[in-house]
Chains A and B, each alone.
Chain A
Amino acid sequence: MRHTLGVLVENQPGVLSRVAGLFSGRGFNIESLTVAPTLDPQVSHITLVTTGDETIMEQIVKQLNKLINVIKVVDFREVKFVDREMALIKVKAEAHTRAEALRIVDIFRGKVVDVSPNYFTIEVTGDEGKIEAILDLLAQQGIVEVVRTGKVAIARSKKNSKKK
């Protein structure tokens, strides 16, 4: 099973490698990881997507909490949350396919952020299902490159925005 965790960490050098090292050292999986400072510049937020059964998830949460620089772990299995991901997609856009590409972008409320004679670069934001869906449709146009941010998540209650 895939699970999303929110991890508040002290914004210090080496913290990310402590988190990443924990996962590699113990054989846990990282599917995606995003990190950026919070409102408090001394604290960063990591959204981490991982896989594991109940026992592994319990270990992951405990092990993260054990890291000295980790302030708080939010286990999104226990909290309602909203998550989003952004993708930049470079697709072929030749004379006969441009209109179709634009139509798809429109349906998904994406944006064309860069245009060249033969390519569009499209920005699209949404949950994972939406990103997968647009990628599927654009595949017919010919996707040249995709860069995804990985998931960011926030709890629906106020819980997540406060520090421990």
Chain B
Amino acid sequence: MKLTGAQIFFESLKAEGVDVMFGLPGGAVIDIYDEMPKHNIRHILVRHEQGATHMADGYARATGKVGVCLVTSGPGATNTVTGIATAYCDSIPIVVFTGQVPTALIGNDAFQEADIVGITRPCTKHNYLVKDVRDLARVIREAFFLARSGRPGPVLVDLPKDVIAGKTDFKYPKNIAMKGYKPTTEAHMGQIKRAYTAISKAKRPVIYAGGGVILSSAAKELKELGERLRCPVTTTLMGLGGFPAPHDLWLGMLGMHGTFRANMAVANTDMLISIGARFDDRVTGKLSEFAPSAKIIHIDIDPTSISKNVKVDIPIVGDCKDALKKLLKLVKESPIEDLEKQRQPWLDQIQKWKETYPLAYEQKDDVIKPQYVVEMLYKLCKDKNPIISTEVGQNQMWAAQYYHYSEPRTLLTSGGLGTMGYGMPAAIGAQAAFPGRLVIDIAGDGSIQMCIQELTTAVENNLPVKVAILNNQYLGMVRQWQQLFYEKQYCATCLKMAPDFVKLAEAYGAVGLRATKPSEVEKVILEAIASPKPVLMDFVVNPEECVYPMVPAGAATTEMILV
């Protein structure tokens, strides 16, 4: 029996185990939407296609599965670009289906035609224009495989209207034959041995882990490695949750807004064990002074990440989990002698750093400190094992510093691209995956307005996300740079002209709550998490609070501005 492209689309998605997708229809995909009611895949109607991509991304980060969205041609497709680039920078597996004008019209500047394959070439892992319905099932199979395997990432599939309407025999391919795609997942044993020999000799080792640990589900192995080596662990923003905080070996995040002890530890280590991280400039600061006295081991599945920014001594290409398992086997077979004694001076030194400059702020009784809100969220919510998402800016950094993530996939944040507007739709995507769980977006008053329209989506679909706006009436992070480096000329960063967020929430059919005094913070949080509805919490916080420590862009990570 022959199936239409639209039927093949749904059968293929089912074969991939897709249970939910996020989208918004239009002329080019109307046939897919017409077919939709016959199939048991939940569709969440968004209010802007950027929201759909962030939802698919949030779903993927929270579950480890591939997130899916479906949009129309032209403007529907171009609206996905920010979300695709966001997923690309953080290696998040999503598949984006875009409608396209009929193949005969491609290139004719037809109505709602956009060369989305051309536009997204540099921000997808791979993309496809399907020109023949007979290729459709194979392309979908490849798209999901590419998205989730190797170094994961977004894949876009462009579907011309006549391909969707065309008919062919359907058989979902079992095997995949891609000549040019063979990611190295198995770590080379020889390199692992070299690494362990070097680690055994180190006096001041530090593990520096990134998002790769979470993507490869290697948190358990990372914890075991840290403990067996008695090696302090720091992570990037993307790695938070990859090592259980708090923990006596936990250093906190490193980099521009990292902890004093994490940056000092990296500056003084003689052995940096990098696992699934990519030496981003927000982590390294001035390259020549990054971990200057260290031998560097770098485990990463993507060979292009290795020795891209920092020359490494022992490269290990492979999946983090596989590499860590192999390394752990060696550690167990021949443990380091006198480990406790050997490590003590280093751990003592780190403890001293911790005591010298702990993360700190002062909460008086008049104005709410944003850090206090985050600490209270942690205190009042941690037992519920919530998923936290963030927007971008100061709110994101405070969420990284003052909330503690004890499990992987509990922090969803746009690290690489730094996309304002990411947090709420990502929270909605995660909530769609885990209807019963508490999902909180720690937001800024600027960022939240970039995808605020998705509050409707949350209300309509009973996805009761909680949004905690740290309302400083500024594009705070930019204002902070202006304060510190541009003589306080606050050009175009003031957000005093703003909607009443409580009324806005109510207008959307959600709940709006506000706290203006420190004494009100706890009550607002408790009320929000008790509500079965989406809630927008407006915390009116100290406008000119800054995120510290701060390493100025391009400076060495030891040159921290501390309060």
Interface residues of A (CB under 8 A from B): 9-10, 13-14, 17-18, 21, 25, 55, 58-59, 62-63, 65-72, 163-164
- A69 with B304, Cβ < 8 A, contacts A21-B121, A21-B122 known: no
Give every chain A residue within 8 A of B311 (Cβ-Cβ): 55
B residues 171-185 with Cβ under 8 Å of A? 178-181
- CB of B121 within 8 A of CB of A66, answer no
A14, A55, A68 — most chain B CB neighbours (10 Å): A68
- CB of A68 within 8 A of CB of B178, answer yes
- CB of B307 within 8 A of CB of A58, answer yes
B residues 447-471 with Cβ under 8 Å of A? none
Closest residue of chain B to A72 (Cβ to Cβ) is: B180
B residues 96-132 with Cβ under 8 Å of A? 117-118, 121-122, 125-126, 129
Give every chain A residue within 8 A of B540 (Cβ-Cβ): none
Q: Is B308 an interface residue (CB 8 A)?
A: yes
- CB of A63 within 8 A of CB of B304, answer yes
Interface residues of B (CB under 8 A from A): 117-118, 121-122, 125-126, 129, 146, 178-181, 302-304, 307-308, 311
Q: Pick the contact of B118 from A10, A17, A62, A66 — CB < 8 Å? A: A17
Q: In whole Å, how far is A109's beta carbon from the nearest beta carbon of chain B?
A: 39
Closest residue of chain A to B183 (Cβ to Cβ) is: A66
B129, B178, B180, B303 — most chain A CB neighbours (10 Å): B180
- CB of A62 within 8 A of CB of B179, answer no
Q: How far is the CA of A71 from the CA of B303 in the complex (A)?
A: 16
- CB of A163 within 8 A of CB of B179, answer yes
Q: How far is the CA of A65 from the CA of B146 in the complex (A)?
A: 15
Give every chain B residue within 8 A of A9 (Cβ-Cβ): 180
Question: Can you name 13 extra interface pairs (CB under 8 A) apart from A17-B118, A68-B126, A164-B180?
Answer: A14-B121, A18-B121, A21-B121, A25-B122, A55-B311, A62-B304, A63-B304, A66-B304, A67-B180, A68-B125, A68-B146, A68-B181, A71-B179
Q: Pick the contact of B179 from A10, A17, A59, A65 — CB < 8 Å? A: A10
4 shortest interchain CB distances as A-B pairs: A62-B304, A68-B126, A71-B180, A71-B179
- CB of B307 within 8 A of CB of A55, answer yes
Give every chain A residue within 8 A of B121 (Cβ-Cβ): 14, 17-18, 21
Q: How far is the CA of A72 from the CA of B181 in the complex (A)?
A: 10
Give every chain B residue within 8 A of A71 (Cβ-Cβ): 179-180
Q: In whole Å, how far is B431's beta carbon from the nearest beta carbon of chain A?
A: 33
Closest residue of chain A to B309 (Cβ to Cβ) is: A55
Q: In whole Å, how far is B141's beta carbon from the nearest beta carbon of chain A?
A: 14
16 pairs of residues in contact across A and B, judged by CB atoms under 8 Å = A10-B179, A10-B180, A14-B117, A14-B121, A21-B121, A21-B122, A55-B311, A59-B304, A62-B304, A63-B304, A67-B180, A68-B126, A68-B178, A163-B179, A164-B179, A164-B180
